[in-house]
Amino acid sequence: MLPRAYDLLSRVGARVRALREKKGLTQAALAKRSGVSLRFLADVERGAANASLLRLGELADALDVSLADLVSTAGPRRQAVVLVGVRGAGKSTVGRAVATRLGAPFFEVDELIEARAGMPLGTLFSEHGVERYRALEQAVVEELLGTGERVVLAPGGSMVVQSELWAHVRRKAQTVWLRARPESHLKRVEAQGDSRPTRGRADALAELRGLLLAREAAYAQADLTLDTDRLDRLETVWAVLGWLGERGGEG
């Protein structure tokens, strides 16, 4: 599927989810009201279903909006862009490229945490515990988003487990989940020469599968989900920029 198609499907999915949540409906309730299957509705909201006009019309009726309103492709209004996903998702490479195209600064949240703590993350965790890391993470993220300016952020993969902070991020920024299979995440990290995910672990892949499963529901709350097993780095950048209404040439 071409990146432009991902742009449209992802925007429609985000629109359906926003309207459903505004009405206080669960996916199951909207599926029942509209007559579509729960699985189909979940795919629509993830931007993975190429729905017919008839099906979209049924969803629009169930949400009490016009079909035109449902498929409106007006660009997002929040300035900041936050890319989420576990290590190996491509947040840094995609984030830097998106920031360059937007003319906006790019920030690795963990690097800022290290600078503020005055020590590497490993030392921070061992000497002060995860609570100190979380406190610094929240302070850094809220500070960056508090300016209201256009920035691109790549936080640590576990940020989404802080439900209040993750909710704050979704209110203040456009959020993108860079999704991939566990095998892909592990392969990418190993290709970068990072042995931490497998060091001292009998079955690192099984652990990663469990971690992704535990966080999947939180990651899925992002405004846009992109399958990076199906899109290469440049296609992913185009998809993000197109969704933001900012994509120019292909260079």
Give the mean model confidence (pLDDT) for residues 90-103: 93
- pLDDT of residue 4 exceeding 90, the answer is no
Which is more confident, 169 or 44? Answer: 169
- pLDDT of residue 156 exceeding 60, the answer is yes
Q: Each residue of 216-250: pLDDT tens digit? A: 999 999 989 998 888 888 999 999 988 887 654 44
Count the alpha carbons within 13 Å of 198 in the hemisphere toward its beta carbon: 13
- Kindly list the structural domains of the chain, giving each domain's residue range(s) and its CATH number in brackets, ordered by start: 3-70 (1.10.260.40), 80-243 (3.40.50.300)
Which is more confident, 85 or 202? Answer: 85
When the pLDDT of each residue in the chain is averaged and rounded to a whole number, the result is: 84
Give the mean model confidence (pLDDT) for residues 190-203: 55
* Residues 76, 10 contacting (CB under 8 angstroms): no
Per DSSP, 230 falls in state T
pTM: 0.67
* Residues 170, 126 contacting (CB under 8 angstroms): no
Which amino acid does the sequence have at 32? K
pLDDT band (50, 70, 90) for residue 201 = low
CA of 46: how far to CAs of 135, 140, 179, 186, 228, in Å?
Answer: 31, 29, 11, 23, 14
Q: Each residue of 12-55: pLDDT tens digit? A: 887 788 788 878 899 999 999 999 999 889 888 877 767 788 88
Q: How far is CA 229 from the centre of its chain?
A: 15
Report the percent of the chain where pLDDT is more than 90: 44
- pLDDT of residue 76 exceeding 50, the answer is no
- pLDDT of residue 95 exceeding 60, the answer is yes
The predicted structure's pLDDT at residue 188: 75
Which is more confident, 97 or 186? Answer: 97
The predicted structure's pLDDT at residue 195: 47
- Dihedrals phi, psi of 158, to nearest 5 degrees: -90, 0
CA-CA distance, 17 to 235, in Å (whole number)? Answer: 24
Strands across the sheet with 152-154, in order?
106-108, 152-154, 80-84, 173-179, 224-227
The predicted structure's pLDDT at residue 182: 83
Q: Which of 71-80, 137-146, 178-187 has the lowest mean pLDDT?
A: 71-80
- pLDDT of residue 78 exceeding 90, the answer is no
Which is more confident, 97 or 184? Answer: 97
The predicted structure's pLDDT at residue 205: 79
Give the mean model confidence (pLDDT) for residues 205-222: 88
